Structure 1
Amino acid sequence: MTGGPGWSGPQPPGGPNPADGQQQPPSPPSWGQPQPPSGWNQQPPPSGGWNQPPGWNPPPSGWQPPPPGWGQPQAGGPSQWGPLPQAEKPGIIPLRPLAVGEILDGVFSALRRSPGATIGLTLGATTVAQIITIILTAIGQRGSSGVAVLCGVVNVIINFVVAIALTGALSIAVSELTLGSKVKIGEVLQRVRPRLAGLAGLSIVVTLLTLLGLIGLLIGAVFVGVALVLSTPAFVLEGGTINTAMRRSWTLVRGAWWRTFGILLLTGIIVTVVVSVLTVVIGVAFAAGGDSMTDPVTGDLTGTGLVFTAIVDIIISIAIMPIMAGVVVLLYIDRRIRLEGLDMTLAQAARDRRAATNQGYR
């Protein structure tokens, strides 16, 4: 199970089943292999020339081909001139190629519309991780150097796994919000659980490749990191293997590397500003705590200092993780809209859901 029942592969449209003649419920959209919408790349018959097939009739006089829609493949996205066209907006984004501001607005809309599945999930996961960190740090401070190193390694592994699971879970939550649907924390965890082992492997591979690029050249590390940034939503929403998810990210980013890099850089700047403000406030609070935060003899953190540090880490994680994960998911959706016409599939899925629940767009 990836993005929910039926989201991992092409699904037949709702309608009579020729096998049994019964009406089938509408199917969720498929995040799997690209599915060209109806009319994909259809070209008008040639108006003249050699080798015309028998029985071919030319179009009537004055016939003009219809203009291309957003569901057709776009080499570089929509035109840079003029206003963006109207599009359905069942959830946090309009279903068409997205501008940079719409991606950022979609992320903050996701935080507002479903704080439980975004901020709440981040809060819960990081709180558990920080409780474990407090325990391991306290043990390491009171043990030998070997015990301290072991506790440090275990702490890094635990936080790494929590970050991986959280990124995958947020991918599911944001993808559902694009259709105007809210998903509960329990459902998100249920969907992401079967992909946790693969997510860990994917993250390790991407990290190692990025480090290899860093060893070769800093520019290489940046290039590889951006090219593979969409691997996580591709892996969680489409299913498949780690290798498949990496190839999908490479394919989707190709031709838009600089745009992807620019949006990630802009998001990083925004997050850095937020974290900097929080750091100043937290630093003042830490200074006000004085000797209650650290042991004046050993310099180790006291119990109060450990709790305070954990709270700081939780606050910073809440400020960073949902925003960065949301931007990556919306970048993934935007690239698939531009290259594969995913907007038509999502719009139909949103209409089917609205019809099934007899609700309008919110």
Structure 2
Amino acid sequence: MTNTTAPGWAPAPRQGLVPLYPYGFGTIMGRSFAALRGNPKVLLLFVVGVQTLAMTLYLAALLGISAAAFSRADTVDPASAEFQDLMWGAAAITLIGGIVLTFALAAVTTIAQGVVIAEVSHAALAEKAPFSRLWKRVRPAFWRLFGYSLLIGLATIIALAVLAVPLVLLGLANTPVTWVFFVVLLLLELLGGIVVYAWLGTKLFFVPSAIVLERVRPFRAIARSWTLTRGRFWPTFGVAALLYLVTNIAASVISSALSLFAPLITSTLVPFGVGESTSVAATVLGFVFLGLSSILSFAIASIMTIITGAGGVLTYIDARMREEGIDLRMRRYVEAHGDADDPYEFLEGAQPSPHASPVAPPTAYPAYGAPPQYAPPQYGAYATQPPAPGAPTVPASSSDGHAPSSDGPVPSSDGAVPPRPADPGSRPQPPAPPV
């Protein structure tokens, strides 16, 4: 039995989604997928369910607006001038309705993105937060996050328009020489666009996380992301690119399988060549399967978006651990059971984590004959394990019951820095007994 009255004893921190020290590429990739298991009630039922429902309503509303707008043209002679006016009016109504519905769908997607960021940040602190608590963090950042999405969309449209202007001018010239220049310029723009998109996407990879967790405005979040990726461009690019490839390939494979089986099911249920009524039934059934496959594909894409978003948050937390030492504040927060300052708050002049250096002090192992240490449980539970004799500890609270105010590592009596915690799930072995 553990002796909880021994000098220097302190309960081990709860195990969260990630270790409370700077981690690496493999941890980010693995924990991005594991985030789905931490709080499925929020991530699957809300993020995926609500987004899929919103997409279903979007398609139904857009179809209804189009049918109502263009149905008026059926009562008019197609050769008349009124028919043309009705068609132009129906097209305008459908376009305006589509824009409004797109903004509404983007708002739902923004909320889902913020919920993913908030959930992963709580999971990293070994907390399984309900939606109400996540919403308290997301609600103040909603308009800033939505405004950033609009800003990115507007910048993309302007960039595409600028790139399209010279291509249109070369196409209008319609000479053999201009078409050669058209092809060359198109290839250069495609290659250059991919490079610029990858570079900007990496430099802005932390913007949504900074908006939600640091509660800053979009332009301040852009500056924060730019600073945090300085010197860490390639690791950040590797995580973003690999997550993008894995999720998009998986979504494409599943969507292709659905598109392949839908015609087979339709032709099996309604054979062709029987009559006009059968042809109409086949057409209707085809549209139904097309809509269902689109909705299912969107649900799968939402799951992949959760994985990508989780990877972005974990990369952001790792970068802040290395640059600003928030792992020390996260440990104090966990050990104080949440009765401490928000560890994700930006503090001016914060120092890098002492555990980020490759020459960080090794983990202190127990002396021979000491009680064995066991791996801490999954996050949400508590573990008690005695530290090694003489190993410094980070106190959970001060004598007055409040969390320490220092942002740096708490030294021991001889001025030593706390050792880097052991990897989750590891079980140190005692050294061999003396011969």
TM-score interval, normalised by the smaller of the two chains: 0.5 to 0.7
Residue 332 of structure 1 corresponds to 316
Q: Structure 1-normalised TM-score?
A: 0.67
- Whether the aligned pair in 2 keeps the contact of 1:88 and 1:94 (CA below 8 Å) is no
Question: For residues 207-286 of structure 1, what are the structure 2 equivalents within 5 Å?
Answer: 207-209=153-155, 217-218=192-193, 219-286=195-262
Q: Which deviates more, 256-265 or 115-124? A: 115-124
1:113 and 2:32 aligned = no
Distance in 2 separating the partners of 1:153 and 1:298: 31
CA deviations on 1:314-361 (whole Å, 9 max, x unpaired) are: 4223332110110010011010011111111111111111899x9515
- Tell me if structure 2 keeps the 8 A contact 1:122–1:317: no
| Matched-pair contact (CA < 8 Å) for 1:108–1:323 | yes
Q: Is the 8 A contact 1:206 1:225 kept in 2?
A: no
Question: 5+ unaligned residues in a row in structure 1: which ranges?
Answer: 1-86
Matches of 2:304 and 2:245, distance apart in 1: 11
SS at structure 2 position matched to 1:172: helix
Any conservation in 1 of the 2:48–2:303 contact (CA below 8 Å)?
Answer: no
Instruction: Specify the alignment match of 1:98 in structure 2.
Output: 23
Deviation at 1:154, TM superposition (A): 2.6
Pairing partner for 2:50 from 125, 130, 133: 125
Q: What per-residue deviation string (whole Å, max 9, x for no partner) do you get for residues 141-197 of structure 1?
A: 413323332332233222222221111111000000001100112322233122211
Q: 3-state DSSP class of the match of 1:254?
A: coil
Q: Does 2:288 correspond to 1:304?
A: yes
Percent identity over paired residues = 26
Q: How many residues align?
A: 275
Cα distance between partner residues in 1 of 2:113 and 2:18: 20
Q: Hey, what's the Cα distance between the residues in 1 that align with 2:198 and 2:285?
A: 36
Aligned to 2:112: 166
Match for 2:60: what amino acid?
I
Aligned to 2:382: 360
Conserved? CA contact 1:209–1:224, under 8 Å: no
Aligned pair in 2 of structure 1 residues 192, 300: CA closer, same or farther (>3 Å)? farther
Instruction: Report how far residue 299 of structure 1 moved.
Output: 7.2
1:149 is matched with: 95
C-alpha distance after superposition, 1:85-105 (max 9, x if no partner): xx9672011122221110022
Closer, same or farther: CA 97–162 of 1 in aligned 2, 3 Å: same
| Amino acid of the structure 1 residue aligned with 2:211 | F
In the alignment, does 2:344 pair up with 1:322? no
Structure-1 separation of matches of 2:323 and 2:158: 30
Structure 1's consecutive aligned runs of 4 or more residues displaced over 3 angstroms after TM superposition are: 206-217, 295-303
Shift of 1:213: 6.0
CA distance in 2, matches of 1:348, 1:267: 31
SS in 2 for 1:268: helix
Residue of 152, 160, 169 corresponding to 1:206: 152
Structure 1 window deviating more from structure 2 (102-111 vs 329-338): it is 102-111
* Whole-Å separation in 1 of the counterparts to 2:200 and 2:289: 38
Q: Distance in 1 between matches of 2:296 and 2:109?
A: 16
Larger-gyration structure (1/2): 2
Amino acid across the alignment from 2:382: G
Cα contact 1:122–1:166 (8 A) shared by 2: yes
Give 3-state SS (helix, strand or coil) of 1:96's partner: coil
Q: Kindly indicate whether residue 126 of structure 2 is the aligned counterpart of residue 180 of structure 1.
A: yes
For 1:206 and 1:247, locate their aligned partners in 2 and report how far apart those are by CA, in whole Å.
Answer: 15
Pick closer, same or farther for the CA change 1:124–1:189 going to 2, 3 Å.
farther
1:344 maps to which residue? 328
Structure 2's unaligned 5+ residue stretches are 1-11, 71-90, 164-191, 271-278, 341-379, 384-423, 425-435
d(CA) in 2 for partners of 1:114, 1:338: 27
- Please say which of residues 111-120 and 137-146 is displaced more in the overlay: 137-146
C-alpha displacement at 1:311, in angstroms? Answer: 2.8
3-state SS of paired residue (2:336): helix
Amino acid at match of 1:283: S
Aligned AA (2:299): I
How has the CA–CA distance of structure 1 residues 222 and 354 changed in structure 2, closer, same or farther, with 3 Å as cutoff?
closer
The one-letter code of the counterpart of 1:330 is: L
CA offset digits 1:41-90 (Å, max 9, x no partner): xxxxxxxxxxxxxxxxxxxxxxxxxxxxxxxxxxxxxxxxxxxxxx9672
Q: Give the direction of change, closer, same or farther, for the CA distance of 1:301–1:197 in structure 2 (3 Å limit).
A: farther
- Rate the CA distance shift 1:191–1:237 in 2: closer, same or farther, 3 A: same
Cα distance in structure 1, aligned partners of 2:252 and 2:108: 24
Structure 1 contact 130–313 (Cα < 8 Å) conserved: no
Matching residue of 1:19:
none
Instruction: Quickly say closer, same or farther: Cα 1:124–1:254, change in 2 above 3 A.
Output: same
- How far is the alpha carbon of 1:253 from its aligned partner? 1.0
**DSSP-derived class of the 1:353 partner:** coil
Q: Counterpart of 1:122 in structure 2: which amino acid?
A: V
Aligned to 1:51: none
Shift in CA distance, 210/337, structure 1 to aligned 2, threshold 3 Å? farther
Answer whether contact 1:175 1:329 (CA < 8 A) is retained: yes
Please say if residues 258 and 293 of structure 2, whose CA atoms lie closer than 8 Å, have aligned partners that are also in contact: no
